[in-house]
Amino acid sequence: MPDPDLRAELTPKLVDSLYIEAMLLADEARSYFDRAARDDRLTLAPVDRVGFSCESLKVTTRLMHIIAWLLTQRAVAAGELSRAQAGEADRRLGPPPQTDEQLLPRLPAAAADLIRATEELYERVGRLDEGTFGAVRSGSPARSLLSRLERSL
Protein backbone atom coordinates (compact mmCIF):
# COMPACT_ATOMS: atom_id res chain seq x y z
CA MET A 1 0.00 0.00 0.00
CA PRO A 2 1.46 3.39 -0.96
CA ASP A 3 2.55 5.88 1.67
CA PRO A 4 -0.37 8.36 2.06
CA ASP A 5 2.08 11.25 2.00
CA LEU A 6 3.39 10.11 -1.40
CA ARG A 7 0.02 9.52 -3.06
CA ALA A 8 -0.48 11.16 -6.41
CA GLU A 9 -2.42 14.36 -6.59
CA LEU A 10 -4.73 14.12 -9.56
CA THR A 11 -5.44 17.61 -10.72
CA PRO A 12 -7.82 18.43 -13.57
CA LYS A 13 -4.84 19.86 -15.48
CA LEU A 14 -2.90 16.57 -15.17
CA VAL A 15 -5.93 14.50 -16.19
CA ASP A 16 -6.62 16.78 -19.17
CA SER A 17 -2.98 16.64 -20.25
CA LEU A 18 -2.93 12.84 -20.11
CA TYR A 19 -6.30 12.67 -21.87
CA ILE A 20 -5.00 14.81 -24.74
CA GLU A 21 -1.85 12.66 -24.94
CA ALA A 22 -3.95 9.48 -25.02
CA MET A 23 -6.29 10.85 -27.68
CA LEU A 24 -3.37 11.98 -29.86
CA LEU A 25 -1.76 8.57 -29.49
CA ALA A 26 -5.10 6.89 -30.32
CA ASP A 27 -5.39 9.02 -33.46
CA GLU A 28 -1.80 8.19 -34.42
CA ALA A 29 -2.46 4.47 -33.89
CA ARG A 30 -5.71 4.60 -35.87
CA SER A 31 -4.00 6.41 -38.71
CA TYR A 32 -1.11 3.95 -38.79
CA PHE A 33 -3.18 0.78 -38.52
CA ASP A 34 -5.72 2.03 -41.09
CA ARG A 35 -3.15 3.03 -43.69
CA ALA A 36 0.56 2.24 -43.45
CA ALA A 37 0.12 -0.96 -41.46
CA ARG A 38 -1.54 -2.67 -44.40
CA ASP A 39 1.63 -2.45 -46.47
CA ASP A 40 3.88 -3.15 -43.48
CA ARG A 41 1.86 -6.24 -42.59
CA LEU A 42 2.40 -7.73 -46.07
CA THR A 43 6.16 -7.75 -45.54
CA LEU A 44 5.83 -10.05 -42.52
CA ALA A 45 5.87 -13.83 -42.35
CA PRO A 46 2.35 -15.32 -42.01
CA VAL A 47 2.77 -16.15 -38.32
CA ASP A 48 4.08 -12.64 -37.64
CA ARG A 49 1.05 -11.18 -39.45
CA VAL A 50 -1.17 -12.82 -36.87
CA GLY A 51 1.05 -11.49 -34.08
CA PHE A 52 0.98 -8.03 -35.68
CA SER A 53 -2.84 -8.10 -35.66
CA CYS A 54 -2.86 -9.19 -32.01
CA GLU A 55 -0.45 -6.42 -31.05
CA SER A 56 -2.60 -3.83 -32.85
CA LEU A 57 -5.57 -4.98 -30.75
CA LYS A 58 -3.46 -4.70 -27.61
CA VAL A 59 -2.52 -1.12 -28.54
CA THR A 60 -6.21 -0.29 -28.92
CA THR A 61 -7.09 -2.04 -25.66
CA ARG A 62 -4.41 -0.19 -23.70
CA LEU A 63 -5.54 3.14 -25.11
CA MET A 64 -9.24 2.51 -24.44
CA HIS A 65 -8.50 1.48 -20.84
CA ILE A 66 -6.42 4.62 -20.32
CA ILE A 67 -9.09 6.86 -21.84
CA ALA A 68 -11.87 5.23 -19.80
CA TRP A 69 -9.83 5.69 -16.59
CA LEU A 70 -9.15 9.33 -17.42
CA LEU A 71 -12.84 9.95 -18.18
CA THR A 72 -13.64 8.46 -14.76
CA GLN A 73 -11.24 10.96 -13.20
CA ARG A 74 -12.99 13.76 -15.08
CA ALA A 75 -16.31 12.53 -13.67
CA VAL A 76 -14.84 12.71 -10.16
CA ALA A 77 -13.61 16.28 -10.78
CA ALA A 78 -17.08 17.23 -12.07
CA GLY A 79 -18.74 15.74 -8.98
CA GLU A 80 -20.49 13.00 -10.97
CA LEU A 81 -18.64 10.24 -9.07
CA SER A 82 -17.13 10.16 -5.62
CA ARG A 83 -13.44 9.33 -5.16
CA ALA A 84 -14.52 6.07 -3.47
CA GLN A 85 -16.71 5.13 -6.44
CA ALA A 86 -13.85 5.86 -8.82
CA GLY A 87 -11.59 3.57 -6.79
CA GLU A 88 -13.91 0.55 -7.00
CA ALA A 89 -12.34 -2.46 -8.68
CA ASP A 90 -14.33 -2.15 -11.90
CA ARG A 91 -13.15 1.44 -12.36
CA ARG A 92 -9.47 0.77 -11.68
CA LEU A 93 -6.97 0.60 -14.51
CA GLY A 94 -5.93 -3.01 -13.90
CA PRO A 95 -3.16 -4.94 -15.60
CA PRO A 96 -2.36 -4.11 -19.23
CA PRO A 97 -2.34 -6.59 -22.11
CA GLN A 98 1.20 -7.94 -22.36
CA THR A 99 3.25 -7.40 -25.50
CA ASP A 100 4.87 -10.41 -27.14
CA GLU A 101 8.48 -9.34 -26.54
CA GLN A 102 9.87 -11.96 -28.94
CA LEU A 103 7.68 -10.69 -31.76
CA LEU A 104 8.45 -7.01 -31.22
CA PRO A 105 11.89 -6.97 -32.98
CA ARG A 106 10.30 -8.55 -36.09
CA LEU A 107 7.61 -5.87 -36.38
CA PRO A 108 7.96 -2.70 -38.44
CA ALA A 109 9.58 0.15 -36.51
CA ALA A 110 6.43 2.30 -36.64
CA ALA A 111 4.36 -0.48 -35.06
CA ALA A 112 6.99 -1.16 -32.40
CA ASP A 113 7.16 2.56 -31.58
CA LEU A 114 3.37 2.74 -31.12
CA ILE A 115 3.39 -0.37 -28.94
CA ARG A 116 6.13 1.06 -26.72
CA ALA A 117 4.42 4.46 -26.52
CA THR A 118 1.14 2.89 -25.34
CA GLU A 119 2.98 0.71 -22.84
CA GLU A 120 4.81 3.73 -21.43
CA LEU A 121 1.60 5.79 -21.15
CA TYR A 122 -0.18 2.83 -19.53
CA GLU A 123 2.64 2.51 -16.97
CA ARG A 124 2.45 6.22 -16.11
CA VAL A 125 -1.33 6.19 -15.72
CA GLY A 126 -1.04 2.90 -13.79
CA ARG A 127 1.30 4.55 -11.29
CA LEU A 128 -1.24 7.36 -10.85
CA ASP A 129 -4.02 4.83 -10.36
CA GLU A 130 -2.01 2.92 -7.76
CA GLY A 131 -0.89 6.09 -6.02
CA THR A 132 -4.41 7.48 -5.92
CA PHE A 133 -6.42 4.35 -5.18
CA GLY A 134 -3.89 1.96 -3.66
CA ALA A 135 -5.46 2.25 -0.20
CA VAL A 136 -8.93 1.64 -1.63
CA ARG A 137 -7.79 -1.75 -2.88
CA SER A 138 -7.48 -3.17 0.62
CA GLY A 139 -9.96 -5.93 1.32
CA SER A 140 -10.95 -8.84 -0.82
CA PRO A 141 -12.42 -8.46 -4.30
CA ALA A 142 -15.32 -10.69 -3.24
CA ARG A 143 -16.20 -8.34 -0.36
CA SER A 144 -15.98 -5.39 -2.73
CA LEU A 145 -18.39 -7.09 -5.13
CA LEU A 146 -20.80 -7.97 -2.31
CA SER A 147 -20.66 -4.41 -1.06
CA ARG A 148 -21.49 -3.05 -4.54
CA LEU A 149 -24.36 -5.52 -4.87
CA GLU A 150 -25.76 -4.52 -1.47
CA ARG A 151 -25.62 -0.84 -2.41
CA SER A 152 -27.40 -1.46 -5.70
CA LEU A 153 -30.24 -3.42 -4.10
Q: What is the CATH number of the domain that holds 99?
A: 1.10.8.930
Q: Say what angle helices 46-77 and 109-133 make with each other, to 10 degrees.
A: 30
The range of the structural domain enclosing residue 63 comes to 10-152
C-alpha–C-alpha distance, residues 40 and 16, integer Å: 33
The answer for residues whose C-beta is within 8 angstroms of residue 72's C-beta and 6 or more apart is 81, 86, 91
pLDDT in tens, 76-132: 999 999 988 988 888 889 899 999 999 999 999 999 999 999 999 999 999 999 888
Of 147 and 15, which is predicted with more confidence?
15
How many domains does the chain contain in total? Answer: 1
Model confidence at 139, pLDDT cuts 50, 70, 90, reads: very low
The DSSP letter of residue 106 is: G
Specify if 1 maps to a domain. Answer: no
Instruction: Quote the pTM value.
Output: 0.80
C-alpha–C-alpha distance, residues 108 and 115, integer Å: 11
